[in-house]
Amino acid sequence: MEKILDGKALAKKIRENLKNEVLELNRKNIFPKLAVIMIGNDASSAIYVKNKSKVAEEIGIKYEEHLLAENTKMDELLNLINELNNSKDIHGILVQSPIPNGLDINEAIKAISPTKDVDGFHPINVGKLALNQDCFVSCTPYGIIKLLEEYNISVEGKHAVVVGRSNIVGKPMMLALLNKNATVTVCHSKTKNLPEITKQADILICAIGKSKFITKEMVKTNAVVIDVGINRGEDGKVTGDVDFEGVYEKASYITPVPGGIGPMTIAMLMNNVVKATKSM
């Protein structure tokens, strides 16, 4: 049986569908547009932003990049967000993380109109997710749910263990799984006896940011293993949070890095831009 959850292939399919949806909107003279704000010169961010622009272009989503200097002031950033909120041409806004010290990312996210918050990070959208209401869902957890659905992997009644509790991955993942009736455990750096907990997981989702941290000893036989991690080694090679070679034998399904959750995340971002456009 094929064990690989092919995020790359599903993301391609989603992009194809979105392309048609965008053409449909274009016929009605509606042109979905995403505005991306990047501040400073973070090398990883520059790669992510470039990938997003490439995918937007492929789908036919218009793309506007705002590159701000490292020493940008908070009120300048808030003014720009406000301008974009008020622009009828812009349907989605995101601020690429990390932003320089001295700027408050929470304030920036809060300033984005919840109806244009295609990253799903605004407190209103996170709150709605907690209440299981229609909202913009954070793109990585949303992509993971879509990938599980594609392979008919039901999460209902399963024990899902999420390792990592960040606002952008771990916490919304917990909520999205709970909304699908999984029994969810969330682990983090203060968790005691982590392997004892991960070994109980029917579905194990790892978003830690530590290369090959999850080894086969930490995984139950036949578990579904989702690797969110993107860890760039000194050699430039990208690895996940899971020791893929070791865990592959034990898992029933596993996502590769690269080619798993990364492409799904960008596809779901574009999905959210189209959703935002349709609801304007």
Give catalytic residue positions: 52, 96, 119
Applying CB under 6 A, among 189, 215, 222, 279 the residue interacting with ligand NDP is 189
Count of positions on this chain that bind ligand NDP (CB under 6 A): 25
Question: 202 or 227: whose CB is closer to ligand NDP?
Answer: 227
**164 is a contact residue toward ligand NDP (CB under 6 A):** yes
Q: Is 4 helix (H, G, I), strand (E, B) or coil?
A: strand
When CB distances to ligand NDP are compared, the closest residue is 166
Amino acid code (one letter) for 14? I
Q: Is 1 exposed, middle or buried (0-12, 13-18, 19+ CB in 10 A)?
A: exposed
- Contacts with ligand NDP, 97-136, as mask; x by CB under 6 A: ----------------------------------------
Measured CA to CA, the distance from residue 149 to residue 90 in angstroms comes to 31
Applying CB under 6 A, among 72, 140, 239, 277 the residue interacting with ligand NDP is 140
Measured CA to CA, the distance from residue 116 to residue 123 in angstroms comes to 13
Measured CA to CA, the distance from residue 235 to residue 223 in angstroms comes to 31
Q: Is 218 helix (H, G, I), strand (E, B) or coil?
A: helix
Applying CB under 6 A, among 52, 122, 165, 220 the residue interacting with ligand NDP is 165
**231 is a contact residue toward ligand NDP (CB under 6 A):** yes
Select from 15-23, 123-131, 206-214, 218-226 the region that touches ligand NDP (CB under 6 A): 206-214
**188 is a contact residue toward ligand NDP (CB under 6 A):** yes
Q: For residue 105, give Cα distances in angstroms to 39, 77, 99, 108, 168.
A: 11, 10, 7, 5, 12
**56 is a contact residue toward ligand NDP (CB under 6 A):** no
Q: Which parts of the chain fold into alpha helices (H)?
A: 7-27, 43-59, 74-86, 105-111, 123-130, 139-150, 170-179, 194-198, 244-250, 261-278
Q: Which residues bind ligand NDP (CB under 6 A)?
A: 140, 163-166, 168-170, 187-191, 194, 207-210, 228-231, 261-262, 265
